[in-house]
Chains A and B, each alone.
Chain A
Amino acid sequence: MSHLLREHAPITEATWGLIDEEARERLTPALAARRLVDFAGPHGWEHSATNLGRARAVGGTPGDGIQALQRQVLAVVELRAPFALSRAELADADRGAEDVDFGPLDDAAHQLAAAENRTLFHGFPDAGITGIAEASTHEAITLGEDCAAYPRHVARAIEAMLRAGIDGPYGLALGPEAYTRVLETSEHGGYPLLDHLRKIIDGPLAWAPGVRGAVVVSLRGGDFLLDVGEDLSIGYTTHDAESVELYLVESLTFRVATPEAAVALTP
């Protein structure tokens, strides 16, 4: 039996299928970082750490004439978003209802996607993770609210990376506020700003809940490493007569191998 304990939930196989599908539909558009960084895994729930390929000197020694080094690893962090579904709604799903209320699941999916984006772009110091924006060695560029200037800011970011020898194609993660502004804006002649930005970066432009401002990254590969143990899954906690408590979970580590391969655009 899997650690997710799904078999213990009072949920039919067909409704588990609906729940999983709903989660996939909500998570996929919001997982901006996964569109831009390298992905390794999934290695499974038992995977506990990522090898950093480094060692540090240990203060003491277990014997005269012995030198001791200790390997350094990055411990996996588990991200979990609990939610509860109404048993009456799940029963209606079994009856074939098309408008089942998966609201709590949708909220949890959005929260977890935003948390993953935040972890990868802005870091999670308590878990030993440095984010892409924080790691960048380039001076941050202020994005501001004037959309007309966005193409110039993005072009400056790309130029900074080119000067550092970082090739494209590039990708752009835009926080929700900046993304909405871009979506609403047409330039002179009615050309959508979204398309203009896509042409400049020659790569994807991702809606990135959890991101402050925006981040331009190189997509050439090998610069940003997401190492996943358990990929996004839904597990079971408990239930009563009214509701079933479930959770979305994933386990991961993240490293920035090339800090020069990204430029932060601050709000």
Chain B
Amino acid sequence: MGFDQYHEPAHELPAETRTFARLCASLTEEAEAIGWYEQRMAVESDREASAIMRDAQGEEFKHFCMDLEFLLRRTPLWREIARGILFQEGDIVEHGEEAEEEAVEGAAARGAPLTGSTSLGIGSLKGVAS
């Protein structure tokens, strides 16, 4: 059994980072499967076989979205950037640049925890309603 999702020695990683890595690996696998089904359907002439693969790809869409939602919930900065990009009309690259800038600068101003930190993430409360 491989442990390729870990880039660092697994025994040195905290449990939450191992879980995070597992879901990242799962997300990758779901995206790969979506791409594979897309290719198979593109060359399949049997309509019944194609319908089954379409159904299977729908499952992968669901899995991918559940993995992504889990990762976003555990990573507030990622979630904030995603919010500025996903389901928006217009230029994707432009939205990406803006979302990143706003989220990263905002997080720094609020005293967001360092990556990998296990702090409570309270930071600054200036401007936060009491």
Contact = CB atoms under 8 A, between A and B. Distances in A.
B128 interface: yes
B114 interface: yes
Interface stretch (A30-38, A67-75, A154-162, A254-262): A30-38
Given A13-B16, A31-B122, A231 B130 contact: no
22 contacts: A2-B14, A2-B117, A6-B14, A28-B122, A34-B124, A34-B126, A35-B125, A35-B126, A36-B126, A39-B111, A39-B123, A42-B114, A42-B123, A44-B114, A44-B117, A204-B130, A206-B130, A207-B130, A232-B122, A233-B117, A233-B118, A233-B119
Q: Chain B at the A interface: mostly helix, strand, loop or mixed?
A: loop
B15 interface: yes
A215 interface: no
B123 A231 contact: yes
Interface of A: 1-2, 4, 6-7, 13, 20, 23-24, 27-29, 31, 34-42, 44, 204-207, 219, 228, 230-234
B86 interface: no
Contacts, number: 76
A38 B114 contact: no
Contact of A42 (B113, B128, B130): B113
A232 B125 contact: no
Given A39-B111, A42-B111, A23 B123 contact: no
B130 A29 contact: yes
A38 B15 contact: no
Closest 7 CB pairs between A and B? A39-B124, A34-B125, A233-B119, A231-B119, A35-B125, A39-B111, A232-B120
A1 B12 contact: yes
B118 A6 contact: yes
Contact of B121 (A2, A207, A231): A231
A219 B118 CA distance: 30
B128 A231 contact: no
A14 B114 CA distance: 22
A234 B123 CA distance: 15
Given A42-B111, A231-B113, A35 B123 contact: no
A231 B125 contact: no
Given A28-B125, A39-B110, 11 more contacts: A1-B14, A2-B118, A7-B15, A13-B16, A35-B126, A42-B114, A42-B117, A44-B114, A207-B130, A231-B117, A231-B122
B115 to A, nearest CB: 11
Contacts of B16: 13
Contacts of B14: 1-2, 6-7
Nearest to A29: B130
Contacts of A1: 12, 14
Nearest to B12: A1
Contacts of A7: 14-15
B118 A35 contact: no
A57 B114 CA distance: 37
A31 B113 contact: no
Interface in B1-50: 12, 14-16, 19
A31 B19 CA distance: 32
Contacts of A20: 120
